[in-house]
Amino acid sequence: MNKTVLAIFSHPDDAEFLCTGTLAWLKDAGWKIHIATMTPGDKGTAVYTREEISSIRQTEAAKSADFLDASYHCLGFEDVYILYNRESINKTSALIRNIRPSIVFTSSPTDYMIDHELTSLIVQTACFSCGIKNMEITEEAFEPVPYLYYSDPMEGKDKLGSPVHPSIYVDISNKMEIKEKMLACHESQRNWLLLHHKMDEYVESMKRFSALRGMEAGTQYAEGFRQHLGHGFPQDNILTEIQGILVINR
């Protein structure tokens, strides 16, 4: 098995909120980590131009990825204009074929923001089609289909306010320090979220949610996931087989 994992989300800082504790465990187990975003976060500002904030946020994302010796990739789409179309599927498929991950983490299929929902759908298609020869891309097809895990939606609820319950919890109590440091790299977002969402305590909000998932799992801190188990995808939970990771199934 290729011990490579790809976390692909909509925007810089999404992975830090939702799965970098688990990525830290995978790194310790000898896995190569890749973190990718569909956009550079070009609209996450009330101060800078699109070009300025894109550069700032990609630099922040790469700095964060360095904590896991990870590679950072940006597919170059625009915030609020992520579309499920040929271009997005082909570019995402090309990235996955270049990296050849055995495990992929992505956004929840239902969330507060359409960017997250469409990213989830695009990544699902790109994973499923990684072995399809006649795609409109030059990157070589490969098998098998990667394990695909959906992270929690923000605040653990869908856009109608209903709770979304994970079926898999990963104990990240011993990885909270690195998760916190990685999120803190996204300095530009604290002020932006304060203005746009009236949300302060950027890191503390992440810790509170991780503590909530930890309480549900019977640990101090946890990250929650649901595995894609549709036809053609792996049916076993590979996370339970990786040394050092404590997985609690619900």
Nearest to 119 by CA among 147, 83, 154, 93: 83
User: Looking at residue 200, what is its pLDDT?
Assistant: 52
pLDDT, one tens digit per residue, over 228-244 is 999 999 999 999 999 89
- d(CA 90, CA 208) in angstroms, rounded, equals 37
Q: Which of 49, 56, 35, 22 is nearest to 190 (CA)?
A: 56
Preceding amide of 144 cis, omega within 30 = yes
Decide if 2 contacts 100 (C-beta within 8 A).
yes
Superfamily of domain 4-249: LmbE-like (3.40.50.10320)
Does 194 score more than 90 pLDDT?
A: no
When pLDDT is averaged across residues 105-131 and rounded to a whole number, the result is 98
The 10s digit of each residue's pLDDT in 87-116 is: 999 999 999 999 999 999 999 999 999 999
Q: Is the predicted pLDDT of residue 192 greater than 70, yes or no?
A: no
| Predicted local distance difference test score (pLDDT) of residue 189 | 84
- Determine the average pLDDT of the residues in 133-159: 96
Distance CA 20, CA 12 (A): 12
pLDDT at 243: 87
Euclidean distance between CA atoms 24 and 53, whole angstroms: 27
Calculate mean pLDDT across residues 79-92. 98
Q: At what angle do helices 187-196 and 50-66 cross, to 10 degrees?
A: 130
pLDDT at 46: 80
Q: pTM for this one?
A: 0.96
CA atoms in the 13 A half-sphere facing the CB of 148? 28
